[in-house]
Structures are given as C-alpha cells and as structure tokens.
Amino acid sequence: MEELQNLYKLQEIELQLEKLQQTQKSLPVIAEFKKLQAETVRAKEKLLRAKSDFAELCKQQKRLEHSLQRNEEEQKAVHNELYKGMNHSPKELEQLTKKAEILKDEQREQEEKLLDIMEKRDEQEKNINTITKRYQEMRGSLLQLQKSGKAELQEIRSQKEKLLAERQLLLQQISPALIDEYRKRRKQFHGRPVVEVAGNVCSGCRVSVSSLIKSSLRQGGKNIRCENCGRLLIMR
Ligand SMILES: [Zn+2]
C-alpha cells in the first residue's frame, strides 16, 4: 500500500512539474525575449545584406574609376596624334576625330554611372549606420531582458530542482512494473491515473465505490480500480 501512496505522491509531483514547465514557458519575459531575439536575428541578417551590397558598390566604383582612367589616357593619346603636327591624311584625321568623340561620349556615360554609384554607396552607408545602431540597441535590450528574466526563472528553476529530487527518491521506492503501468495510463486520465477514495467516492470520476472495493482497500489490497472509470484507487 505504501508503494501506491508513493506513486500517488509521484503523480502529484509530476503534475506540479508540468505546471511549472507551463508557467516557465508562458512567462511574459520569456515571450518578450523570444520576440526580441527573433527581431535581432532579422536585423543582423539585414545588416549583413546591406554590407554585402555596399561592398559590391565599392567594387563597381573601383572598376569605373579604372575604366575612366584608361579612357583619359586614350583620349590623351588621340589628342597627341591629332595635334602633334604630324602629317595625317584627311581620312586618318577623320578617324582620329571620330575616335576622340566616341571616347568623350564614353567618358560622359561612365562619369554619370560613377556619380550614380557613389550616391547609392552613400545611401547604403547611411543605411548600414542606421541598422547597426538599431541592432546594437536591440542587443542591449536583449541583455537587459535576460537579466530581469533571470530572477523569475531562477525561482522556477529552484522549485523544479526540489521537485525533481523528491521525484528521484520516490522512483526508487516504486517497482518498475507499477511505474510502467502508471506511465501508460497517464495520458488517458489527464495525468491522474491514481486517485483517492474520499468518503465513498472515487475522486477521479465522483462515482461512489462499492463496499467490496472499500473493504479490499482497507485490507491493503493492491491494484484496485474504480469500477466506473478504471483509475487506480488508494485510501485517503
Ligand atoms: Zn472513478
């Protein structure tokens, strides 16, 4: 009979543990923490994307600057050809003039592109600064929240530890077969497969138990179940 009493205690402890688990999960500070954590992760991803966009713009800028430099050198060469006073045929002159015009056009086009890229780069730089600031603020709030949540969590954890220790002791005093049986029926009876007979009533289903069952319980009978609901019975 004592084994059953211990099983009953075990059941109550496991119910308390589940309740604490639930409380812990639904702590406002935990929900807030999770939300902020997700936002922080998103901000970090945004920051990484902005940085990679910025790096790409820098590359484009460099490429254009090089190309503009080449263009300038080519223009100088053509200019020299034209005005060095060398003798060119009219056809050669025409070709050189045409080349100079094309180079000039290319230069204008590239300069416009360069300005556009520099503008975008500046924008992206500002963007990075804004996101970085926001990200750092979030990290700060996250740490703050972690601190304030710690006290609440600590309280729950210490209660849980105490219950877990009690549970461990009880488990050593109950046969594995009975534990097995209890585990199997836990779900069916919403965590309470073992109930007391209080007065003449099964406290699981509130139906009166027969006098036969009562006397069996009084005589220390094991494995006695409520005739109505099938829960394992113990005497109060
Ligand atoms: Zn019952």
Rg, C-alpha atoms of the chain:
41
Higher pLDDT, 26 or 204: 204
CA 52 to mean position of chain CA atoms? 23
Rounded to the nearest whole angstrom, what is the distance from the C-alpha of residue 92 to the centroid of ligand 1? 112
Domain extent listing, the chain: 2-174, 178-235
| Distance, first Cα to last Cα, the chain | 11
Spatial distance between the Cα atoms of 15 and 174, rounded to a whole number of angstroms? 18
Query: What spacing in Å lies between the alpha carbon of 219 and ligand 1's midpoint?
Result: 19
Is the pLDDT at 59 greater than 80, yes or no?
A: yes
Q: Which residues fall within 8 angstroms of residue 164, CB to CB, at 6 or more apart?
A: 17
CATH 1.50.10.20 fits 2-174, yes or no: no
Ligand 1 centroid–CA 171 distance in Å is 25
Residue 225 has pLDDT above 90, yes or no: yes
Asked whether residue 82 carries a pLDDT value surpassing 90, the answer given is no
**Residue 1: its pLDDT value, please?**
62
**171 within 8 A of 195, measured Cβ to Cβ:** no
What is the pLDDT at residue 95? Answer: 92
CA of 208 to the centre of ligand 1 (A): 8
User: Ligand 1 center to residue 198 CA distance, Å?
Assistant: 11
Q: Is 114 exposed, middle or buried (0-12, 13-18, 19+ CB in 10 A)?
A: middle
User: From the CA of 197, how far away is ligand 1's center (Å)?
Assistant: 9
19-28, 69-78, 165-174, 223-232: the lowest-pLDDT one: 19-28
Q: Tell me the sheet residues that pair with 232.
A: 194, 225
Torsional sign, CA 167, 171, 174, 175: positive
Band of pLDDT at residue 85, cut at 50, 70 and 90: low
Q: What is the distance in A from the centroid of ligand 1 to the CA of 85?
A: 117
Q: Return the H-helix or E-strand segment holding 118.
A: helix 90-171
Range of weakest confidence among 92-106, 110-124, 151-165, 210-224: 210-224
- Ligand 1: centre distance to CA 135 (Å): 58
Token pair 């430099």 is at which residue? 69
**Cα(132) to centroid(ligand 1), Å:** 62
Q: How far is the CA of 166 from the centre of ligand 1 (A)?
A: 27
